[in-house]
Amino acid sequence: MTAAADSLPAGFPEWRQGPPWVMAEMIAAQPGVARRILQDRSGQARLADLVRAAVAAGERIALVGCGTSEHAAMAIALELGWALPGASRLLVPRQALEAALDPWKGLCLAVSHEGETAAAVAALRSAAELGAATALITAGPTSTAGRAAGHLCVTPLVDRSWCHTVGYLSPLLVGAGLASQLGGPRAEANTVGDFLERCLERMGAQAEAAAVQLSSSRDVTCVGGGGDYVGARELALKLAEGSRVAGLSHQLETVLHGHLAALDGRSALVLVLADPKDGPRRLGRAGQVLAAAERVGAATAVISGPWVPSSLPTPAVRTVRIDIPASPGLGEPLVALLGSAVALQLLAVSSATARGTCPDLIRREEAAYREAAALTEGEFPL
């Protein structure tokens, strides 16, 4: 049963019957959010001190989250790895429940956009009980997680859509600023903000075309290698939340080992090919993945970085491209990470429009989905 808009519980996103979705407004706000996060780095400075202390002691840094926040934590691990390549073994993304069940000493850095994710709260508390330092990146400083963390890094805008976009990009921007303070690539506020604006201007129409290409698919397999696997996972989640389509995610090579058997003319495959690290060496395999998916009838699309040539080595003739623009003022890894984030968000919101679904409530305007969510709330069963 679908509720009337005026009967939804307090705190729900605005429920609109058609576009523009709240999600689209959140995507459009991100260049301004980037400038704010990268202009005020006071919270990032203290976080940098905690990271330095953990690395100096040879202690592991657990980067913790759930859902979109878990993917953001994975991305922050990549960003810190750019700045601290010799300490990569200490940077470990962890699902929040697993971090709560098996806490580590060192530093527990959690991401929770609104700060009320029970597993993230449990991870922070478990780490603190063990004597670990704890920190949280959040837009909800007075939340339960905010009270559980020893240090807060607060982002400026609460996402008004539950198909989170600002909630994903904001921690990535904190990670970029943090990595910059630790000796990684520079991330200047206006340079990043300008780049995000170009992404919105140049990729919007391409994302709409890709969404139409995928609009009749029963399922979408999202694929990426290296750092692009993070974007593939986030895209699969956004499609599930916003378009109510089964979104799956796989590593670039993994998808060729059995998973093609589930693809057919009712399927789609989206390849994220933005990460420049070892990207040229992955390029031929990426073209083969797209060609193989097309051969079994799947619709295909690719999110491509500026380094990707206009023609892939193995032609996939029906593939629609979303091309991330270049930004000489930013390092290539950051262009790939932030550009693919915006590209997948534009594809997800365009997919919701093409399929006629409202992405903002992640289907909780329907009673069964509200009740299903309620079954997992309350006291955390640890």
* pLDDT per residue as tens digits for the range 19-56: 999 999 999 999 999 999 999 888 899 999 999 999 99
Transcribe 341-352 into DSSP letters: HHHHHHHHHHHH
Q: Residue 219 in contact with residue 259, Cβ under 8 Å?
A: no
Q: How many CB atoms lie within 10 A of CB 315?
A: 12
Query: What is the H or E stretch that residue 68 is in?
Result: helix 68-83
Report CA-CA distances (Å) from 293 to 82, 107, 221, 230, 354: 33, 42, 10, 21, 22
CA quadruple 364, 368, 374, 376: dihedral, nearest 10: -100
CA 159 to chain centre: 14
Q: How many CB atoms lie within 10 A of CB 141?
A: 16
pLDDT given at position 41: 85
pLDDT given at position 296: 96
Least confident of 71-85, 250-264, 308-322: 308-322
Given the structure tokens 């959690």, which residue do they identify?
110
Residue 154, amino acid: V
Q: pLDDT averaged over the chain? A: 95
* pLDDT per residue as tens digits for the range 273-301: 999 999 999 999 999 999 999 999 999 99
pLDDT given at position 6: 62
Using CB atoms within 10 A of its CB, is residue 116 exposed (0-12), middle (13-18) or buried (19+)? Answer: middle
pLDDT higher than 90, residue 111:
yes
pLDDT given at position 84: 96
pLDDT band at residue 324 using 50, 70 and 90 as cut-offs: very high
Q: Residue 175 in contact with residue 75, Cβ under 8 Å?
A: yes
pLDDT higher than 80, residue 220:
yes
Q: What percent of the chain has pLDDT over 90?
A: 91
pLDDT given at position 302: 96
* pLDDT per residue as tens digits for the range 137-191: 999 999 999 999 999 999 999 999 999 999 999 999 999 999 999 999 899 999 9
CA quadruple 315, 318, 320, 326: dihedral, nearest 10: 20
Report all structural domains of the chain as residue ranges with CATH numbers, in order of start.
22-187 (3.40.50.10490), 206-355 (3.40.50.10490)
Given the structure tokens 């670039």, which residue do they identify?
252
pLDDT given at position 252: 97
